[in-house]
Chain A
């Protein structure tokens, strides 16, 4: 759910761009540092961005019979950390605006704040807290991915409510309206995306365990003493 081009008043569009800028600049600095130290990271980071874009092209089946598209930032935040996702998410939003007409250019800041900043940070915090509480990888992934999606949707609703407060009930009424209208698609999507994240990581723990160990998501399996020849 991205805010369409021209939908936000100019001052709101500018305000959200200023709000998102420090996070995106911080992400850009992290990427520049990473690429300077390991030039080969350019390709892995590019692959991560392309994966986030492509993940949003997967049609997730819905219990209502329709289908919807995941945001893709939750798995990215768990795999690559929120600062990197702030930049990669903004790049993905720019590509979605120019290749799919999802979102826009003047609303890029507002969408980046919800999709690339709040979503990944909320999702990553949920993932870390769940793991810290002693849960395994998969329950933590479900919590992280679902919450990243929910946080994005709540932030977008708040942005719309701030821009269009209700004539009678003000900001609170407008927030309830937007949360209620978009909940029809976004709450089932958040649960669906959490399940998708679990299935994705379950396959990855089997097929891409060395990558997950390198990213610090799984502890390396100790080699047995006097290991096999």
Chain B
């Protein structure tokens, strides 16, 4: 358990051993399809396929998926509602096509979010970062991103431990104390992150670090059948959308 439910789901997913490139193509295709096709039926079909694949073949826990989608849902609900309210001299009112516009916004956003979550809950970040290198992102940038990924779990653990200790000492018993505790918490995490980085640097220097933090990436074979099914599925969604629209 890493402390981040989406990351835990990615490591435990039945699709964990599938090639990251295959999953990127499938999910990237679904994201773009959700964005460019009309919400009905294009985005609805993308949403159904993404959720079906996640809860079915990829065996992502439904609870994890539902909890993860809560955050975008709040933004989408508030944003869509604001977008379809009109304001003029006579006060607020509904735009003429408010229901259709809100439905389209919600459809595009939820389908796209489901497609991104399908990727996130089946592919750990450590599998995706080498793909950035293949996309010609500089090695130094990918290395910094890899260190961010590896350190953030240590820091999240520190954050929870320090916060628990503060709470046990009545550190959050009033607004004033809560702010003071939050400031001390952020400082403790920052100082620990520097300390961790310095100790890692000392350890690596002792082992002769001269160039980058090179690690042997795990090679997961691509599946022609998976890619063919992904391509056929996306083509099917596009075709169905064009026919039904």
Contact = CB atoms under 8 A, between A and B. Distances in A.
Interface of A: 1-7, 10, 13, 28, 31-32, 35-36, 39-40, 42-51, 53-55, 57-61, 63, 75, 87-88, 91-92, 94-95, 97-102, 104-106, 160, 164, 166-169, 173-174, 176-178, 181-182, 192, 195-196, 198-200, 202-204, 207-208, 211
B105 interface: yes
Nearest to A59: B182
Given A95-B149, A99-B120, A204-B190, A199 B183 contact: yes
A202 B140 CA distance: 33
Nearest to A2: B75
Contact of B155 (A50, A105, A106, A181): A50
A61 to B, nearest CB: 4
A5 B113 contact: yes
B205 to A, nearest CB: 7
B57 interface: no
Interface of B: 4, 6-7, 28, 31-32, 34-36, 43, 68-69, 71-72, 75-76, 78-79, 82-83, 85-88, 95-96, 105, 108-113, 115-117, 119-120, 125, 128, 137-138, 140-141, 143-152, 154-156, 159, 172, 175, 178-180, 182-191, 193-194, 196-198, 200-201, 204-205, 209-213
Given A47-B196, A98-B128, A208 B148 contact: no
Residue of B4, B69, B149, B211 with most partner-chain A CB within 10 A: B149
Contacts of A39: 209-212
A152 B154 CA distance: 28
Given A4-B109, A196-B179, A204-B190, A87 B141 contact: yes
Given A87-B141, A200-B186, A200-B190, A101 B151 contact: no
B79 A101 contact: no
A35 B115 CA distance: 35
A60 B182 contact: yes
B158 to A, nearest CB: 8
A44 B108 CA distance: 39
A160 to B, nearest CB: 6
Given A50-B193, A58-B182, A199-B180, A100 B6 contact: yes
Main secondary structure of the interface of A (DSSP, over half): helix
Residue of B140, B147, B155 with most partner-chain A CB within 10 A: B140
Contacts, number: 249
B178 A61 contact: yes
A82 B11 CA distance: 34
A67 to B, nearest CB: 9
A99 to B, nearest CB: 5
Contacts of B194: 44, 47, 208, 211
Nearest to B96: A167
Given A47-B196, A51-B190, 10 more contacts: A31-B140, A50-B155, A53-B148, A58-B186, A75-B190, A160-B83, A166-B87, A168-B86, A174-B83, A177-B87
Contacts of B138: 28, 31-32
A110 to B, nearest CB: 12
Contact of A95 (B34, B75, B125, B201): B125
Contacts of B149: 95
Contacts of A13: 35
Closest 9 CB pairs of A and B: A199-B183, A46-B147, A6-B112, A203-B187, A49-B148, A50-B151, A47-B197, A168-B88, A5-B112
A64 to B, nearest CB: 11
B128 to A, nearest CB: 7
Contacts of B183: 195-196, 198-200, 202-203
A5 B143 CA distance: 26
A204 B187 contact: yes
A192 B179 contact: yes
B229 to A, nearest CB: 22
Contacts of A51: 155, 189-190, 193
Contact of A6 (B110, B175, B185): B110
A176 B119 CA distance: 36
A58 B197 contact: no
Nearest to B81: A181
A74 to B, nearest CB: 11
A61 B176 CA distance: 9
Given A42-B144, A43-B201, A49-B144, A7 B179 contact: no
